[in-house]
Amino acid sequence: MVHFVVFLTALFVAMVLVAVLMRLAPRLGFVDLPDGRKIHRAAVPRIGGIGMIIGAVVSALAWIDLSRNSEIFLYGVGVIAAFGLWDDRVDLDYRIKFAGQLLAIAVVVGFGGVAVERLPGFENGEVPWLVSYPLTVFFLLGTTNATNLADGLDGLAAGLSLLSLACIAFLADLAEGDELVFINLAIIGATLGFLRYNTHPAMVFMGDTGSQFLGFSLGVLALMLTEHVNTAVAPGLALPILGLPIIDALMVIGQRIAEGRSPFKADRNHFHHKLLALGFDQYEAVLTIYAIQSLFVTSAYLLRYESHWLIAALYLGLSAMIVLSYPLARSFDWRLHGGMRSGSTSPVTGFLKSVRDRARLDETPNRVLSLLITGFLIMGAVAAKELTPDISYFVAASLAIWLVFRLFGPAAVKWIERFVIYASVILVIYSIELSGITERHSWHAGLKYFFMILAAVTAVGMRFAGSYYFSLTPSDFLVIFILLAAANLAVFDEVNYAKLAIQSAVVFYSVEFVLRRRSAASLTISIGAMAAFVIVGVKAL
């Protein structure tokens, strides 16, 4: 359950914060303007990275019992965030940017004990610090900037990082490294919360704040995995875990140096640019790069206990294929859609659009959620036991207030109605827990998967709902207020209030998604909540 709580907290905090920051970005000066090197053609907020960082850090501090090394890692993240925000605001000179990265690396290496401690050839002794520390700094600088350089298409850097983070979490779990698993889940949740707005066409960019955060985190967490948590794996496993961004960065920097240009001057020679030049559209380029990264992380997982040399040979072989693919395609004058007219929709993009249209992903989740929530509230109210009479008084008073406002204050009805729905959710979830129903195995498994399904359907609905959903309204503050109030009720001392608060948050956001559509589905939830409210009140008597 802790895994789910850590992930979900980061997801929701990041999702709400990014939505708020998007609206503030023009006023604060965090806007990415188009130019000849960039793919987008309109100004886009580039402030999503700070929402990701806050989401991950809040979740980590709230739910994880952090060791000193993990606390130091968060300090390093703070340094990266500060310099990243500065860079996103004023476009720093690369030397100042490097200074910030070196300072963050110095924090985790000097105080957090993060260092390369195992290398081929040093199996029988420690790696000298004159080798270990410079190599660690070089590695972390490389990962930080590699992810930063990979951030060139909508959803690209975030998706690549998710695959690597998931691989680190799986490998840490094999060695029962719970703390490392939780930290990875916090960053995964925050990244997914940001990705809701960053898939093509992106409504917000992560900026250098987000890309450097992800690259720095991947490097540090990969070293924590191989050097401390799961030392049975080969130390070189960090390379295939991080995968394509490392190769892309080396390829681009090498080409710039070979052509006599500054290695720090941006251009259009990244791997994703080359795919676009070969006729791939954005969807196809991103999916292709995801597939290549999946191959890297899968090989890392499968070869986790193999020799250094086998892992190095596989990594170099895949790298060579990637490096040679573009010049070979150009030499044969190959293009993905050689016969397609300019401006036409590619087969992949057309297929994705048709799937969205047929599945009606902007409407179907609305109906599914209304049925799931209504069924849960009524069934939960019927099954609940061990209810105190105080609940019936609360139900009666709430319904009386709703009825009075219904008759004499129609302008406030929707807010009172929301209060009744939210109160119904809290009462049903609390009553189920207090009744001991969740201790039965079938109920426990069913409720666990119910909340996961509810969160997944809500995420799909929000992704395809359009920009209207997270235009900040008083409903967001109402949800947050009720969640905080529910988590601090004294009566919750008898049960796991943190778990109940998170479960309530899932249902609240699902309810909000449906109610904002103002359709027949919202009426279904209102009726179901009223019925559950009455059932709980009567049973409490």
Read off the pLDDT band of 476 (50, 70, 90).
very low
- pLDDT of 310-320, one tens digit each? 898 989 999 99
Over residues 494-506, the mean pLDDT reads 65
- Give pLDDT, residue 489: 44
Ranges 77-81, 226-230, 276-280, 490-494: which has the least confidence: 490-494
Q: Would you say residue 412 has pLDDT above 80? A: no
Question: What is the predicted pLDDT for the residue at 109?
Answer: 94
My answer on whether 284 and 166 are in the same domain is yes
What is the per-residue pLDDT for 134?
92
Q: Which of 272, 303, 337 is the last residue of a domain?
A: 337
Cα separation, 167 vs 239, in Å, equals 12
pLDDT of residue 218: 96
Q: Would you state the pLDDT for residue 352? A: 59
Give the residue-averaged pLDDT of 358-383.
80
Tell me: pLDDT of 354 over 60. yes
Least confident span in 62-76, 128-142, 244-258, 260-274: 260-274
The share of the chain scoring above pLDDT 70, in percent, equals 77
136 in a structural domain: yes
- Show the tokens assigned to 319: 């790298």
Q: Please answer whether residues 376 and 428 qualify as being in contact, where contact means their C-beta atoms are separated by less than 8 angstroms.
A: yes
Q: Are residues 333 and 365 in the same domain?
A: no
Residues 330 and 364 in one domain: no
344 located within any domain: no
114 shares its domain with 20: yes
Judgement on whether residues 90 and 129 belong to the same structural domain of the protein: yes
Instruction: Give yes or no: residues 202 and 312 share one domain.
Output: yes
Q: Residue 179 belongs to what domain range?
A: 2-337
Residue 486 has pLDDT above 50, yes or no: no
pLDDT at 137 over 90: yes
Q: Indicate whether 305 and 218 sit together in one domain.
A: yes
Per-residue confidence (pLDDT) for residue 268, from 0 to 100: 79
- Whether residue 153 is found in the same domain as residue 301: yes
Q: How confident is the model at residue 485 (pLDDT cuts 50, 70, 90)?
A: very low
Residue 451 CA neighbour count, 13 Å, CB half: 21
Enter the tokens of residue 498.
Answer: 């943190």
- Residue 354 falls within a domain, yes or no? no
Count the domains in the chain.
Answer: 2
Mean of the pLDDT values across residues 522-538? 82
The whole-number pLDDT of residue 469 equals 47
Q: Measured between alpha carbons, how far is 267 from 388 in angstroms, rounded to an integer?
A: 68
- Domain end: 305, 337, 369, which one? 337
**Which of the two residues, 230 and 32, has the higher pLDDT score?**
230
- For the record, the structure tokens of 20 come out as 């708020």
When comparing pLDDT for 86 and 129, which is higher? 86
32 phi/psi in degrees, rounded to 5: -95, 115
User: What pLDDT, on the 0 to 100 scale, is given for residue 472?
Assistant: 41
Provide the pLDDT confidence category of residue 128 given band limits of 50, 70 and 90.
Answer: confident
Residue 343 lies in a domain: no
Both 138 and 239 in one domain: the answer is: yes
Task: Identify whether 189 is part of a domain.
Answer: yes
Highest mean pLDDT among 300-304, 393-397, 411-415: 300-304
Q: Where is the domain boundary, 304, 337, 370?
A: 337
| Mean per-residue pLDDT, 359-374 | 78
* Whether residues 323 and 402 fall in one domain: no
Share above pLDDT 90 across residues of the chain, in percent, rounded to a whole number: 23
323 and 384 fall within a common domain: no
Closest by CA to 531, choosing from 426, 379, 392, is 379
Q: Is residue 351 part of a domain?
A: no
Would the pLDDT of 53 be above 60? yes
> To the nearest whole number, what is the mean pLDDT of the chain?
80
pLDDT in tens, 424-454: 887 888 777 776 655 555 565 677 678 878 8
In a domain, 348, yes or no: no
Dump the DSSP string for 486-524: HHT-GGGGGS-HHHHHHHHHHHHHHHHHHHTT-SHHHHH
Cα distances from 459 to residues 177, 196, 262, 469, 527, in angstroms, run 29, 8, 43, 12, 24
Label residue 331 exposed, middle or buried (CB < 10 Å: 0-12, 13-18, 19+): exposed
pLDDT at 42: 63
pLDDT digits (tens, 9 = 90+) for 178-234: 899 999 999 998 998 888 787 767 788 898 999 999 999 999 999 999 999 988 888
Q: How confident is the model at residue 479 (pLDDT cuts 50, 70, 90)?
A: very low
Per-residue confidence (pLDDT) for residue 464, from 0 to 100: 65
Task: Supply the pLDDT for residue 487.
Answer: 45
Q: 52 to each of 131, 196, 341, 456, how far by Cα in Å?
A: 34, 12, 40, 19
For 262-291, what is each residue's pLDDT tens digit?
777 777 788 888 888 888 888 788 888 988
**Is residue 363 domain-shared with residue 319, that is, in the same domain?**
no
Question: Is 350 within a domain?
Answer: no
